[in-house]
Amino acid sequence: MVAINYVTKDNGALDQKITQGLLTSALGGNADVELVNGGKSFTLTTISTSGLKAHSRGKGYNSGSVENAKEVYTMGQDRDVEFFVDKQDVDETNQDLAAANISKVFIEEHVQPEIDAYRFSKLAKKAVEANQSNSDSITKANVYSKIKDAILPVRKYGPQNIVVFVSSETMDALEQSTEFTRSITNQNIGMTALESRVTSIDGVQLVEVWDEDRFMSDYDFSDGFKATSDAVKINFLVVANPAIIQLVKENAVYLFEPGQHTEGDGYLYQNRLYHDIFVRKNKLDGIRVSLTKPTATK
């Protein structure tokens, strides 16, 4: 039985959790790939050729070789939920349970954080599998070098194509870093706004993830999303946009009013999200991750 608080008198104001928006939108939109026969898989082709050889002026050209390899990527994150609210519950809660409120709260507090959590953790796992990860203790004395070292092998993709997601702890250390000096001069008269967060390094964008619940190495998605018992916090995640493929095959929201369905005398809200993220096989070097060191067990 769902707990419903009926109205006595209020102004319709909601008291919800503070949430961040969808952070991985910084990685771009839906990839331009074709799902096979409208299914859940797509194929990427890699063409490879042999290189140049020494030309012999006494005879013809050297023979070379050409190959085309195909890699299949299959989507796997298919999610949904359904809410039913009796129409009298909508009326007697002063419209608190109206579909617009339910949809807004659900998307902000569950959908967006889960999408980020899934994408961050999957990219982190790919970096670990490719031996492009480190377990670090981030401090004011090493944070700048750690991030610079992680960006360096990815810079070939172009700094404008790279995003570094950093935890708030990492950002705190970076703005107080002892590895570089800074000078803050206040020339304003009256009220002054002081911004000390670091938003880019050498042209590479930094995005702060202050919602640490979505910035872990592994999750259980059986009911919403929850970090697994062996998950560790991500310090920062370096992502080159050309290395990844984001797909949203279906993002559907349905609202049926009383009489438009057979579930009862009320409003029926349905939400389905079918999405995934992939790292291109030949661009695995475009992902780097720094994880916090696991807590030692006695």
What's residue 16's pLDDT?
Answer: 44
pLDDT single digits (tens) 230-283: 999 999 999 999 999 998 888 888 878 777 777 777 888 888 999 999 999 999
Return the CATH number of 23-50+66-180+196-292, one of 1.20.120, 3.90.1690, 3.30.160, 1.10.3470: 3.90.1690
Cβ atoms of 23 and 115 within 8 Å: the answer is: no
Tokens of 94: 């002063």
Q: What are the domain boundaries of the chain?
A: 23-50+66-180+196-292
Strand ranges inside the chain, DSSP E: 41-49, 66-74, 77-86, 133-136, 162-167, 200-201, 204-209, 219-220, 226-227, 234-240, 244-256, 266-279, 287-292
Q: Does the structure show a pLDDT above 50 at 159?
A: yes
What's residue 166's pLDDT?
Answer: 97
Largest CA distance in the chain: 99
Which range (32-41, 173-182, 199-208) has the least confidence?
32-41
What's residue 88's pLDDT?
Answer: 62
Mean pLDDT, residues 215-241: 96
Q: Does the structure show a pLDDT above 50 at 2?
A: no
Q: Does the structure show a pLDDT above 90 at 146?
A: yes
Q: Hey, how many other C-beta atoms are within 10 angstroms of the C-beta on 285?
A: 16
Could you give the CA distance from residue 178 to residue 180 in angstroms, rounded to a whole number?
6
Which has more pLDDT, 222 or 59?
222
Cβ atoms of 28 and 240 within 8 Å: the answer is: no
Mean pLDDT, residues 89-103: 57
pLDDT single digits (tens) 283-296: 999 999 999 987 65
What's residue 89's pLDDT?
Answer: 59
Which has more pLDDT, 14 or 236?
236
pLDDT, the chain, mean? 83
pLDDT single digits (tens) 110-133: 899 999 999 999 999 999 999 999
Which has more pLDDT, 9 or 24?
24
* CA 297 from centroid of its chain's CA atoms: 30
Q: Hey, how many other C-beta atoms are within 10 angstroms of the C-beta on 242?
A: 14
Rounded to 5 degrees, φ, ψ at 112 are -60, -50
What's residue 3's pLDDT?
Answer: 46
